[in-house]
Amino acid sequence: MDRDIKFIGESTAFLDAIERASRAAGLNRPVLVIGERGTGKELIAERLHHLSPRWSGPLVTLNCAALPETLIEAELFGHEAGAFTGATKARAGRFEEADGGTLFLDELATLSSGAQERLLRAVEYGEVTRIGSSRPVRVDVRIVAATNEHLPSLVDAGRFRADLLDRLSFEVVTLPPLRHREGDVPVLVDYFGQRMAFELGWTDWKGFSPKALATLVGYEWPGNVRELRNVIERAVYRWDEPARPIDAIEFDPFASPWRPQGQAARPAMTAEPRPAQTVVVEEAEVGDFRAACDAYEKKLLEAALKRCRFNQRTTAAALALTYDQLRHALRRHNLLDRTGA
């Protein structure tokens, strides 16, 4: 995600994750950030750094999956001249660069066993030793690490050190995938859509048609917010009628009748609607059918309002109602006063 993309969302699951990260920011303890691709793990790492007492120090990032196993240890801990072929001069590692600040290790689960062992010592004793040197260097670094793997399962499989996991998991912030962030898709769609419209010089923003918005809400978003942003920006820039709501969505940018046939075709990414939720009502003796229905409807409204923190537009989206339909239902059940409206 770009650095100018901020946290956008109103769902309880999303806000709870942000709150947990904010509470942990002030403590000089390691934090693990868990989440699928595109959920904003690096943004959480930046928040942890900038809200901490180390905010004026360096924030150093290393993608552990971007380097071959033979170079990852040299990149993390540095090396002396002549330590290996090609090491013509001494070089400080990321730990030394992050001294006094925060070191963000992305894709932590890809670290080799040797790098895990050296990382454990650095975390436990606060010192690192450059490759080719016997003299340890003291460092004052806070570790924030991220992965999309379930690390306890990797420990059980012998692919990750249990003692290292113990050291790094003082706090674990798990980011919810977009498909579980109830009500956040319309908010993000409007945000990214308006940004793109402004970039294109549109003088007005008509948004997306109800049909297009329903398609976007019903999609599972395997790439989460990063994928959503691409889909929305592509839809806006391809739309030639700014005076009308956008009504065309393309999830797969590779879809084409002229797709090369000599390669395995990528399966089309279509927006399959989510299965309708089945509402189960406990059997009971009902003396007044209308009163029972009204009571149950009020109970559903109260639960949805609480889940969406009494935000009416988010509640309407969560219940698949229009804003006016929700307002009418709330007025009928005398619930408007609970929303502050």
Determine the straight-line distance between the first and last CA of the chain, rounded to whole angstroms: 36
Confidence of residue 276 (pLDDT cuts 50, 70, 90): very low
Count CA within 13 A, CB hemisphere, residue 231: 29
Distance of CA 4 to the CA centre of its chain: 15
| pLDDT of res. 283 | 53
Q: What is the mean pLDDT of the chain?
A: 88
Is the pLDDT at 284 greater than 70? The verdict is no
Identity of the amino acid at 325: Q
The Cα 36–Cα 179 span in angstroms is 11
> CA angle 196-200-202, nearest 5°?
95
pLDDT digits (tens, 9 = 90+) for 159-180: 999 999 999 999 999 999 999 9
Question: Is 330's pLDDT higher than 70?
Answer: yes
Tokens of 103: 């070191």
pLDDT digits (tens, 9 = 90+) for 88-142: 788 888 999 999 999 999 999 999 998 999 999 999 999 998 888 888 999 999 9
Residue 286's pLDDT band, with cuts at 50, 70 and 90, is low
- What number of residues does the chain have? 341
Residue 3: its pLDDT value, please? 47
pLDDT the model gives residue 259:
78
Q: Which residues contact 328 (CB under 8 A, 6 or more apart)?
A: none
